[in-house]
């Protein structure tokens, strides 16, 4: 009897997980290059923005506790985009046009951390207090996870989003011009 109840419970859990409704996030991350002069500058001004190829997009629950995963898993997530097993962490990188899409996101409140890979920021200027506060909430060790380096060197933004079942949230961002 016990074994039969265990099998029924397991089957119920599997079916429930398969029937759970998920949301998704998609968008386009762009930037502009202002290094060109003369005719080349006019060309780039005419074509407008470019896709921020390989921009990093992290989707992290607002109630995420970094201690819920190992330090190694946390480091691999932020450095390589490896999603730890059995978490509500998500990751994507932008394609050559700056597009990305993440499906299968459990409903809830999330931070969306977007880090450009093409626009640098003035490293002599501090990050905003809001971003620094949020980064400290989602990482045990900013330096070990390379979040310190990424967000100091490259332009970045943090958005909040409420993921709802069967709804696609659009999050686009233009990082503008790169700092030299």
Q: Give the per-residue pLDDT at 19.
A: 47
C-alpha distance from residue 62 to each of 74, 142, 148, 151 (Å): 16, 17, 19, 19
Q: Please, are residues 53 and 94 in contact by the beta-carbon 8 Å criterion?
A: yes
Tokens of 54: 């390989």
Q: Give the per-residue pLDDT at 75.
A: 87
Q: Where are the domains of the chain?
A: 27-177
Q: Please, are residues 175 and 116 in contact by the beta-carbon 8 Å criterion?
A: yes
Q: Please, are residues 52 and 29 in contact by the beta-carbon 8 Å criterion?
A: yes
DSSP reduced 3-state for 76: helix
Q: What is the pLDDT along the chain (180 residues), one digit of tens a residue?
A: 555 555 555 555 554 444 469 999 999 999 987 665 445 555 555 557 899 999 999 999 999 999 899 989 988 898 889 999 889 999 999 999 999 999 999 999 999 999 999 999 988 888 888 888 888 888 887 766 678 888 888 999 999 999 999 999 999 999 988 776
């Amino acid at each position: 009897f016990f074994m039969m109840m265990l099998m029924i419970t397991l089957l119920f859990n599997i079916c429930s997980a398969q029937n759970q409704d998920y949301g998704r996030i998609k968008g386009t991350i762009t930037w502009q290059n202002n290094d060109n002069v003369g005719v080349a500058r006019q060309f780039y001004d005419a074509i407008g923005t470019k896709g921020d190829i390989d921009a990093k997009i992290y989707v992290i629950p607002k109630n995420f506790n970094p201690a819920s995963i190992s330090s190694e898993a946390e480091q691999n997530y932020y450095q390589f985009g490896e999603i730890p097993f059995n978490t509500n962490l998500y990751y994507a990188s932008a394609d050559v046009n700056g597009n990305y899409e993440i499906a299968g996101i459990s409903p809830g409140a999330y931070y969306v951390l977007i880090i450009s890979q093409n626009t640098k920021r003035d490293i002599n200027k501090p990050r905003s207090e809001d971003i620094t506060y949020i980064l400290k909430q989602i990482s045990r060790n900013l330096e070990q996870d390379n979040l310190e380096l990424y967000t100091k060197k490259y332009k970045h933004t943090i958005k909040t989003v409420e993921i709802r079942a069967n709804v696609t949230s659009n999050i686009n961002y233009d990082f503008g011009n790169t700092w030299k």
